[in-house]
Amino acid sequence: MKTLTILRHAKSSWSNVSLSDAERPLNRRGERDAPRMGKRMGEAGVRPALIVSSPAVRAWTTARIVAEQINYPLEFLEKDPSLYLASLDGLLDVIVAQDNTVSSLMIVGHNPGLTSLVNFFSPGLTDNLPTCGIVSVSMDTDSWDLYTPPKASLDYYDYPKKLPGF
């Protein structure tokens, strides 16, 4: 059994136009949403064994905040440059490269690739994975070789606008 959790980075800032896209930090809303979503994820029992993130500041910061909320050791967070703005095929390449001894994996990245990945495993779930949106699926397989999707069951889907008082 494998569990894949997909997390889109929290809302980022466009206020400093001199920064490259990869350098953009979270904005105030992102800084508010990331810990709240991490807490909800932990309360739902979603606890990946491995977290791999895009190195973009907004994704890496989101990964660190969520990891803290679920008591994931920050020293085990991994950056993978190929997750930065990855397409569906690029995301699958990262997943397939994971060690099969890892039972649960979370990737942190960007749209539109993540929305494509979500719909690859759960067709028609969403036309846009919102910022700080989290989807977790379970698959009856022993391998991360998921180029052909196995039957997957949706375990968890949450995003900030589902929060009370948003």
Whether 165 has a pLDDT exceeding 80, the answer reads no
Range of the domain at 38: 2-162
Q: How far is CA 99 from CA 1, 105, 151, in A?
A: 14, 10, 20
Chain CA centroid to CA 1, Å: 19
What are the pLDDT digits (tens) for 21-35? 999 999 999 999 999
Longest Cα–Cα distance in the chain: 46
Which residues does 80 contact at the CB level (< 8 Å), separation at least 6?
Answer: 52, 53, 54, 55, 94
What are the pLDDT digits (tens) for 42-61? 999 999 999 999 999 999 99
What are the pLDDT digits (tens) for 144-160? 999 988 899 999 999 99
What are the pLDDT digits (tens) for 62-88? 999 999 999 999 999 999 999 999 999
User: What is the reported pTM?
Assistant: 0.95
Sorting pLDDT into bands at 50, 70 and 90, what band is 163? low
Tokens of 63: 């990964």
Q: Which CATH number characterizes residue 20's domain?
A: 3.40.50.1240
Domain count, the chain: 1
